[in-house]
A and B are shown apart, each in its own frame.
Chain A
Amino acid sequence: MSSISGISNGSPAATDMQRLRRAAVHEPFGRIVGKYLFGLSLALVPFGLLFNDYYSINILTFVYLMAGLACAWNIIGGFGGQFSLAHGVFFAAGAYIPAQFYLKYGVSPWLTAPAAAAVVATAAVLISWPTFRLRGPFFAIATMALNEVAAVLANYSDSLTGGARGLLIPFKASFSHMIFVERWKYCALMFAFMALTLAVVVVIRQSRLGYYLLAVREDEDSARASGVNVLAVKLWGMGISAALTSVGGTLFAMFIRFLDPPTLLSLPDIGVKFALLSLIGGIGTVWGPVLGAFFIIPAENFIRASLGGLPGAHLVVLGLLLMLAALFLKKGIVGAAAALWRRVRATP
């Protein structure tokens, strides 16, 4: 017996097994919280440094928001492996509903944001119920069509969305309106959103739902054969993901204060962006989408600022980056860093 284990310990298969077993065991609670707080405090460093820089703090605000949104997409897209392009719809609904309640009835976005999130999550579950019958590219195409339907409807229904003219939210600064004079307050708000989303992601990753989502991503049929209720798992993942995306939409609406369909339902800037940030950072990892946002959003702004004369230059670079990442960086920055770390540890 001992000789067998001695042999297998030396083979690569055994080390893989050990790594898997280690990953499957729950981390101690304190360490999870510690990692979470450490990551968040690192993410706060630029906030402290850029506090008074009007231009940079706007970018940072957007970084936090997109990081939170990418994390939300990652729940169903990364953990669950369902390439959803419908998240732009949840985002737009999360922006429009509170904005209209604020404009027409003066209801504070603080109250409507959770209500809208609940409505959007319910709608997402109802829409996904039939759509989850589709797999891989077919699911992606169906959700892409959904985004386009939403774009056509948003342009059409003047009374609900302001149509193509868009909705302008007047600047009336007050805490209850979620409109601020000081830019850093928006930044802090987005940071809080990112922290909330990350907390949800960390909890899901440690929970039964998280493991089920991973199982569904790896092999849907095997997961079903092992007794996982695949549809329920996907629907839970989608519902939570959509609710968080909707909250992000509300914050975006109150930050930008101008809403129109091309902004909210653009595939390259919204729907695909969430997936892109996750991929670059590390799809299906907890911190990957945050890293992706911290890397891509400032880079994008830099390119836009330095090549401002050329329309679309930043998207040319982003498209190139996306192709390169799909080819050579499939596990994103997090995966590359982990591989590097393993290599460093392996060489004495």
Chain B
Amino acid sequence: MENLFTILFIGLWLGGIYGLVSIGLTLIFGVIRITNFAHGEVLMVGMYGTYLAYGWLGLNPYLAVVVVVPVMFVFGVLIQRVLMQPLLDEPLMQMFASFGLLMFLQNLVLMLTRGASLGIPSSGRADNLSIAGINLSLGHVLAFVASTVIVIALHFFLRHTMMGKAIRAVTQDKRAAATMGINVNRIYRLTFGLGTAITGVASVFLTPIYTLSPSIGGDFVLAAFAVVVLGGMGSIWGAYFAGLIIGVTEAAAGFYIDPALKSAVWFLIFIIVLIVRPSGLLGTVGAEEVGLREQH
């Protein structure tokens, strides 16, 4: 019982991070259906950006949000405009292009930093909290809170603002949305930018917890795709809960099976869920096909 509680606890904090990383991808892959394999690298760039803001401008790592998020938004709009917009109806070429972006960003950072790993000292370790006898870092708690706040804010944005409604309209039917006077390409750019900006928020909250390396995106990209698909394509709350489920699964697998195999366990579960119920937990059955149907 004691163990179960600990596992649940650790899993939830871990899940908060997975959720945080995946919400941006929910917009990009889940809502506008663009296969962006470079999502982990976008996160990585954000983390290095946070580090720069901390190292050069001397900002508190969490205050770096004010610099990193707008820059990431512009970065996302650029990726969509230059790379993805010409490939909207070609999922195969999107995969190639985003893998190109992945290799480019990862190795560009490797080239610039020459592989030195960076980290923000002290924070995290110094600010440990103790709740119910379990030690956890302040960084994890903040990440969890940030993830929850973003999900609630995004939910209201998509449901109750004109822009949010326009985004959902474009997802459902590009052509009909265009006839209603929605500038489809603009909505795509904004959504991609928004997804990247939210990933920027995630990177700010992850920077104090993790040691930075150019390949750190690889640790998150599959988790992010898994969370988006498990939660149901385009479902914000689905992503939030799927993140928690994967976190708990990883913690449980690490405890009961072997820490070295924990990711293999949930990868396998992910593959099985993907095959058995591709519409995910909170997704509409058949919705996973929407973005793949030809729309002109």
Interface residues of A (CB under 8 A from B): 81, 83, 130-131, 133-138, 140-142, 144-146, 148-149, 152-153, 155-156, 268, 272, 275-276, 279, 310-313, 315-316, 318-327, 330
Contacts and interface: CB of A to CB of B under 8 A. Distances in A.
A142 B276 CA distance: 12
A113 to B, nearest CB: 28
Contact of B271 (A83, A137, A140, A142): A142
A145 B96 contact: no
Nearest to A310: B111
Given A134-B278, A326-B93, A145 B270 contact: yes
8 contacts: A136-B91, A137-B35, A142-B271, A144-B37, A146-B271, A276-B96, A316-B103, A319-B102
Residue with the greatest number of chain B CB neighbours at <10 A, chosen from A141, A142, A155, A325: A141
B111 A136 contact: no
Nearest to B83: A323
Given A83-B95, A152-B261, A325-B96, A145 B106 contact: no
Contact of A330 (B93, B222, B226, B267): B93
B260 A152 contact: yes
Interface of B: 29, 35, 37, 83, 86-87, 90-97, 99-108, 110-111, 114-115, 214, 222, 225-226, 229, 258, 260-261, 263-264, 267-268, 270-271, 274-275, 278, 288-289, 292
A185 B95 CA distance: 37
Contacts of A319: 99-107
B65 to A, nearest CB: 28
Q: Classify the secondary structure of A's interface with B.
A: helix
A296 B275 CA distance: 35
A146 B271 CA distance: 8
Contact of A316 (B108, B258, B267, B268): B108
Contacts of A327: 83, 86-87, 93, 97
B274 A142 contact: yes
Contact of A141 (B94, B102, B229): B229
A311 B275 CA distance: 39
Contacts of A275: 96
Nearest to A133: B275
A144 B222 contact: yes
B292 A322 contact: no
Contact of B95 (A140, A311, A320, A325): A140
A149 B225 CA distance: 15
A319 B35 CA distance: 16
A276 B103 CA distance: 12
A318 B104 CA distance: 7
Q: Classify the secondary structure of B's interface with A.
A: helix
B115 A311 contact: yes
Contacts of B106: 312, 315, 319
A260 to B, nearest CB: 16
A322 B275 contact: no
Given A138-B288, A327-B83, A322 B264 contact: no
Contacts of B225: 141, 144
A214 to B, nearest CB: 14
B96 A315 contact: no
A140 B292 CA distance: 13
Residue with the greatest number of chain B CB neighbours at <10 A, chosen from A130, A149, A153: A149
A279 B271 contact: no
A142 B275 contact: yes
A61 to B, nearest CB: 24
B190 to A, nearest CB: 22
Contacts of A148: 222, 263-264, 267
Nearest to B270: A145
Residue with the greatest number of chain A CB neighbours at <10 A, chosen from B226, B274, B288: B274
Contacts of B114: 310-311
A276 B225 CA distance: 22
Contacts of A276: 96, 99
B260 A326 contact: no
B292 A135 contact: yes
Nearest to B115: A311
A315 B107 contact: yes
Contacts of B261: 152-153, 156
B268 to A, nearest CB: 6
A313 B107 contact: yes
